[in-house]
Amino acid sequence: MGADCAHTGSGGQSAGGGFGALSVNGGSVRWGYDPQTKTLKWEIPSLTSMTQHLKGTFTSSDKTPKPSRSFIVTFEIPQHSLSMAKIDQLRVSGESYKPYKGVRSSVEARIEYRW
The DSSP code sequence of 58-72 is EE-SSSS----SEEE
Assess contact for 56 and 9: CB atoms under 8 A: no
Alpha helix segments (H runs only) across the chain? none
Instruction: Tell me the C-alpha distance between 91 and 98, whole Å.
Output: 8
- pLDDT tens-digit map of 41-71: 777 777 677 776 766 666 667 777 676 777 7
Domain layout of the chain by residue ranges: 3-114
The verdict on pTM exceeding 0.85 is: no
- pLDDT tens-digit map of 7-29: 555 544 444 444 455 566 666 66
> Residue 32 forms beta bridges with which residues?
41
CA angle 9/12/13 to nearest 5° reads: 120
Per-residue confidence at 5, pLDDT binned at 50, 70, 90?
Answer: low
- Those residues with Cβ within 8 angstroms of residue 103's Cβ, 6 or more apart along the chain or in another chain: 86, 87, 90
